[in-house]
Every structure is written in structure tokens, then in C-alpha cells.
């Protein structure tokens, strides 16, 4: 499955390049390949390009969206951020690296849900966070 098959996001704000596996509803595994030509690297930081932590959290949220939207019960909905708790950044991520993403969805109802995401590079934890989201109609 391609991420843009289920997510409404499009470049330059689609960060999940590849969905490795998905269990519709409960979980997903994916990757974000950092090529180095992403626009944010030129300003974050000149001479020492680093992936912003908030974009790592966004990539986890997008992968969580893949898991939720792959479930036919939620395919016509849009998951929006409701909150982030306990976000921790453990490792710098730089151009040329691949961020291995994994998200497990916790509570999930018709209107909202929770999840936990972890991002690794080469087996080393780079970021993890608890995610909260609300589900809205795609209409607007």
C-alpha cells in the first residue's frame, strides 16, 4: 500500500514514503527516507542539517493515519491531531538516513483515538510520542 492511497497529505507535507505493513486499525510500520533535498534542511540548520522533531512526530501521526484509514469503518474520515504527550527526542536524524516508523493505535472510537509511535534509525531510537487524534468528516 502506498501512503497516498489512504492519506490526504501530498508533497511537500507527505513524510511517509513507504508503508511496510499495516494491520487496519491497530498498527502500521513505515519508512521516511531523508534524501537531503527536503526544503527544511536548508534552514534547520545551515551547516548541520537536522530533521525537526515536530516533523518526526508528524511522520508518526501520518503513519497512524494510515493504520486508521485502512480500516473500512474509518475510510471516509479524516484524523486530525488532538494532542501529543510524552514526546521525546533521543537521536539527531540527518540527510541520507531512513527513519523507521512504527505506530500502534490504542483506544479508537467513532470520534477519536490514541496511539503510540516510535521512530528509529539503524535500530537506535530517535523519537517516541503518545498521540491523540479526533476523527472528522472529510467534507470540508
Alpha-helical segments (H) within the chain: 53-69
Are 68 and 108 in contact by the 8 Å Cβ rule? The answer is yes
Q: Count Cα atoms within 13 angstroms, Cβ side, for 105.
A: 27
**C-alpha Rg value of the chain to the nearest Å:** 14
Are 12 and 62 in contact by the 8 Å Cβ rule? The answer is no
Active site residues: 44
Amino acid at each position: 500500500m502506498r501512503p497516498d492511497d489512504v492519506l490526504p497529505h501530498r508533497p511537500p507535507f507527505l513524510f511517509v514514503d513507504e508503508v511496510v505493513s499495516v494491520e487496519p486499525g491497530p498498527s502500521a510500520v513505515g519508512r521516511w527516507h531523508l534524501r537531503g533535498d527536503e526544503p527544511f534542511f536548508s534552514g534547520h540548520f545551515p551547516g548541520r542539517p537536522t530533521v525537526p522533531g515536530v516533523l518526526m512526530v508528524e511522520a508518526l501521526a501520518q503513519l497512524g493515519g494510515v493504520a486508521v484509514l485502512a480500516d473500512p469503518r474509518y475510510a471516509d474520515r479524516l484524523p486530525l491531531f488532538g494532542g501529543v504527550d510524552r514526546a521525546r527526542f533521543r537521536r539527531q536524524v540527518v540527510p541520507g538516513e531512513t527513519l523507521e516508523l512504527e505506530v500502534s493505535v490504542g483506544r479508537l472510537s467513532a470520534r477519536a483515538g490514541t496511539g503510540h509511535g516510535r521512530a528509529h534509525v539503524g535500530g537506535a531510537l530517535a523519537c517516541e510520542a503518545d498521540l491523540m487524534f479526533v476523527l472528522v468528516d472529510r467534507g470540508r
